[in-house]
Structure 1
């Protein structure tokens, strides 16, 4: 599996490509994205094992969104049921990806706990509120650095893995390896992509804040509309960068 090495400006284009894809069928892509989050919330609510089940189901559900984006890109008809289509594509390996990602996340949280006594882990799990004293704790800053350094390679390994596993019929370990390599080769484009997403949030956010100073009522509608548009566009941009980095993802590539 060969991943192309793209120039940094391609990261900006992924956002534009994602927006263009979303515009083709905003209803379907928006439904798939928020349906994805709704399904994860329902699974996470299962007593005792909800968090584990959520992690295991996440790759297959995310693959359903990619299948929907692919159908929109190819101008094929697709309905809401495509959200669960990822469960029919190499499911055992998809579950393994979720398990590996969960274990990696727990390891990273364990390392941060050694640095701050578990403050960051409790904040992430909702067991502690972020007050002024906690925010100013030097141990928390150090654990945030550890968490960032530890979670970045884990996210790189996960980024393309569901697609490579589902469409390329790869094993979980192989898919995560190729995903990491692809992200590493394109770190410049991903830096530009991350910067572009930050700007795409900050500028509308500032405009909404200014509008709120003039009229809180007038700012309500764009404040609601922004996440309803921005979040699906971001997910569509995930599909765009996968298609850009890998010219084709299929069983032939896996061979």
Structure 2
């Protein structure tokens, strides 16, 4: 396995492939995404350790969606059991994925702890435990500082874990090494990932504009509220579908490893 550096325009290819693959299996990918969300939500409801457990499951659950995308690219219908692919890959890789999940949970909770230094834990409690956000709360300078600190700190954390689950599962890389390789791949392909992220923001904003215009044309202000929620969920599902392609094109299998699907950077 070696790093593959792609041009910035590949970010747009990843977005198009995500939308195209989702369109090929819309029912399967939508259903799996809702199962993904339900699994994490149910885990978070457990008392005391629920939030930490949901965080620890996130890398394995994301890998499940990537495996589903891989199946869809082969023209296959991904079954629900594919979501637990990370726990069906042998004892050694299951342990590695569990370690990776624990590292992610620790990293995220540490991030929240740092944000608590700004507002006494108000933002962290709202994010991890839940609750009602108020206008007065959002206007507080300390709350805003905690929110921005969390967002800034989450960027390096997300880059560390962006490719890590796939590296552990498909290439047998150890958890710590997978974090290093993920960070390096994201650094080398940061331009493509930036285009990828901006393109998805553009998709979301474009959908919101279309819904708003339809709401005005229909003379029904509530239409935008009712329509945007399911549309947003579908866009997020397509986004998760596209993550697989960012991994596939960032690494190339060496001669002693089974080849992945052909990179799509030339499309």
Question: Normalized against structure 2, the TM-score is what?
Answer: 0.85
2:193 to 187, 190, 195: 190
Q: CA deviation at 1:105?
A: 1.1
The runs of at least 4 consecutive aligned structure 1 residues that moved more than 6 Å come to: none
More off after superposition, 92-101 vs 119-128: 119-128
Q: CA deviation at 1:131?
A: 2.8
* Contact 2:25–2:77 under 8 Å retained in 1: no
In 2, Cα distance between equivalents of 1:133 and 1:249: 56
Within-5 A mapping of 1:33-52: 33-52=33-52
**Per-residue deviation, residues 35-70 of structure 1 (Å, max 9, x unmatched):** 111111122222222222222222222222111111
Q: 1:50 to 1:142 in 2, by over 3 A?
A: closer
Structure 2: gaps of 5 or more residues? 259-267
Question: Normalized against structure 1, the TM-score is what?
Answer: 0.89
Match of 2:231 in 1: 226
Does 1:252 find its partner at 2:257? yes
Q: 1:16 to 1:191 in 2, by over 3 A?
A: same
In 2, Cα distance between equivalents of 1:92 and 1:66: 19
Does 1:137 find its partner at 2:140? yes
2:242 to 237, 242, 255: 237
Q: CA deviation at 1:78?
A: 3.7
Q: 1:137 to 1:163 in 2, by over 3 A?
A: same
Q: CA deviation at 1:175?
A: 1.0
Match of 2:264 in 1: none
* Contact 2:51–2:129 under 8 Å retained in 1: no
Does 1:120 find its partner at 2:123? yes
**Per-residue deviation, residues 107-142 of structure 1 (Å, max 9, x unmatched):** 111111112222221231355543333222222333
Structural RMSD (CA) = 2.4
Structure 1: gaps of 5 or more residues? none
1:146 to 130, 149, 171: 149
Equivalent pairs, count = 253
Q: 1:223 to 1:109 in 2, by over 3 A?
A: closer
Within-5 A mapping of 1:53-202: 53-89=53-89, 90-126=93-129, 129-202=132-205
Q: Secondary structure at the match of 1:252?
A: coil
Match of 2:207 in 1: 204
Q: 1:131 to 1:53 in 2, by over 3 A?
A: closer
